[in-house]
Amino acid sequence: MIALTVAGYVAGEWIYLRTGRIPALQPVLVPIAIMAVFIKLQGISYERYFELTTPLHFLLGTAIVALAVPLYENLQRARNALLPVFATVIAGGLLVTGSALALGALFRLDRLMEISLTTKSVTVPIALAIAQKIGGTVPLTVVSVFATGVAGIIATPALLRAAGVRDPRVSGFTLGLTSHAFGIVRSLELGSEAVAFATLGMTLMGCGSAVVVPVIFRLL
């Protein structure tokens, strides 16, 4: 299962590059589709697939920690932008959590769905930890995070271009803030500076959400 998953990603990256980097054909989408079809046809449950690919989940956490390298290399630039960075994280975090609660109220969503939506812009390891604290479930949380990440890496670059944003720091930070690890993968195309700010955005959003979201649900 690990070999098939990795091969699927390699195939996805090959297709993405050969088709001229079409946003809808992000490398992460192809292996998801391939593995979903494969385990369905083979009658393998998601829980079993998750168990068989445990080393990959461990490496996900390791990879996130390793993102400290490009951040360290661009530390001075990050320090020079601390005020707008923190202001954006606060505004973005409130908007993400508020919009999730608003959608839940508008569509009268089940409590579990509402909980999952509040962690949609946080990377999976942190999102799962938050969901456990506030009574969420693993499948709904993972689906919410993945759907947001995929939608973000497709839509965000187009929105930034439409807004006339050309600064790699802003582009990277926005991708990391809204699309977590997916956004960091997308920011690789914009250079190490964009990766550093995407890492900063994802990290701050994750840390802020880990503190604020459980408090909000306790108050509610």
Burial 110-139 (b: 16+ CB within 10 A, else e): eeebbbbbbbbbbbbbbbbbbbeebebebe
What pLDDT is stored for residue 41 in this prediction? 94
CB atoms within 10 A of CB 196: 28
Tokens 């997916």, residue? 182
**Most confident option among 49-53, 81-85, 96-100:** 49-53
Statement: residue 219 has pLDDT above 80: no
Looking at per-residue pLDDT, the higher value among 100 and 1 belongs to 1
Statement: residue 24 has pLDDT above 80: no
Statement: residue 129 has pLDDT above 90: no
| pLDDT average, residue stretch 65-92 | 83
Contact criterion met (CB below 8 Å) for 120 and 96: yes
Closest CA to 181 of 206, 160, 213, 215: 206
This prediction's pTM: 0.81
* Averaged pLDDT score across all residues of the chain: 86
- In this prediction, residue 42 has a pLDDT band, given cuts at 50, 70 and 90, of very high
Statement: residue 142 has pLDDT above 80: yes
Q: List Cα–Cα distances, 79 to 21, 86, 90, 165, 193, in angstroms.
A: 32, 11, 17, 21, 13
Q: In angstroms, rounded to a whole number, what is the distance separating the alpha carbons of residues 10 and 82?
A: 37
Spell out the alpha helix ranges (H) of the chain. 2-18, 29-42, 46-52, 54-66, 68-73, 75-80, 82-106, 111-118, 124-134, 138-162, 168-187, 192-219
| pLDDT average, residue stretch 104-115 | 82
- In this prediction, residue 92 has a pLDDT band, given cuts at 50, 70 and 90, of confident
Q: In angstroms, rounded to a whole number, what is the distance separating the alpha carbons of residues 108 and 34?
A: 33
Q: In angstroms, rounded to a whole number, what is the distance separating the alpha carbons of residues 33 and 73?
A: 35
